[in-house]
Amino acid sequence: MTRPARYRDMVAGGIVTLAVTAGAAWLSAKPEWQSLEPGMALVRISFTHGGDRSGSCRPLTAEELATLPRNMQRKEICDTHYPPVTVELDVDGQTVLARELPPSGFNGTGPSRLYQRIELPAGSHDFVARLRDNPQTAGFDYENRAQADLVPGQSYVIEFKPAQGGFTFR
């Protein structure tokens, strides 16, 4: 059998236990971690948007219509897959992001998604965001610009909301 505990064990063991616990408490908040360098701001451009599928639609032929039950008869048949979306972001005249976003989902039936972090030094910046979602047309379908004076630690968010005319900046 192990020898019974002595008074000394309580004191010495108590001190060690206290030291370990205090050390753990200290490490529970320090040393601090610098997640974003001082003087930097964070720009995030993010959206979920499906490319324009209307180009893939075609009228149903008479034979096709005949094979469909009455309640499923439609004029047009469209591809369930989304075309890719192309996005670009310029900051102060420099292109910092240029991407073709494939549709999501295992077989491309989901919209394209973007979530991108861009760290910028605080100060005034010009933003130009462009997006092309229609494979039928040439060039970008949307282009929006904004100017912002970023303070250190600011979160600046660029989203794409076609209902509001394209990109929103805030």
Partner 1 sequence: MLRRLFNRGFDRVERLLDGAFGPAWNPLAHLGSLGWLLFWVVAGTGLYLFIFFDTGVHAAYESVQWLSEDHWYHAGVARSFHRYASDLMVLVMLIHILREWAMDRLRGRRWFSWVTGVPVLWFVYISGITGYWLVWDTLAQYVATVSTELLDALPFFSEPIARNFLSPETLNSRFFTLMVFLHIAIPLMLLLMMWIHIQRITDARTNPPRGLGIMTLLALLAVALVMPAVSQGPADLATVPQRVGVDWFILSLYPVIESVPPGVIWTGALVITFLMIGLPWLPPRREAPAAVVTLDHCNGCARCVADCPYAAITLVARSDGAPFTHEVVVNEDRCVSCGICMGSCPSSTPFRRSEELTTGIDLPSRPLSQLRLEVIEAARSLTGEGRVLTLACQHGSAGAEGPGRVVLPCVAMAPPSLIDYIISRGLADGVAIAGCSERECFNRYGQEWTEQRFARQRDPYLRERVPRERLLLLWHGTSEARRTLREIASFGARLAAMPAYGKVRPITETRAPDRAGAPEAGT
Q: Which residues bind partner 1 (CB under 8 A)?
A: 1-6, 8-10, 12-18, 20-22, 24-30, 32-38, 40-42, 44, 46, 48, 104-106, 110, 113-115, 117, 152-155, 157, 159, 170
In whole angstroms, give the CA distance from residue 97 to residue 38. 23
Which residue in this structure is represented by tokens 């971690």? 33
Q: How far is the CB of 19 from partner 1 (least distance, A)?
A: 9
Handedness of CA 109, 111, 117, 121 (dihedral sign): positive
Minimal distance in Å, beta carbon 111 to partner 1? 8
Q: Which residue number, 55 or 151, has a Cβ lying nearer to partner 1?
A: 151
In terms of phi and psi (left: phi > 0; alpha: psi -120 to 50; beta: otherwise), the region of 164 is alpha
Q: Which is nearer to partner 1, 24 or 138 (CB)?
A: 24
Shorter beta-carbon distance to partner 1: residue 136 or 155: 155
Q: Which is nearer to partner 1, 59 or 152 (CB)?
A: 152
- Distance CA(60)–CA(66), nearest Å, equals 10
Element (H, E) at 98: strand 94-101
Smallest distance from the beta carbon of 5 to partner 1, in angstroms?
A: 5
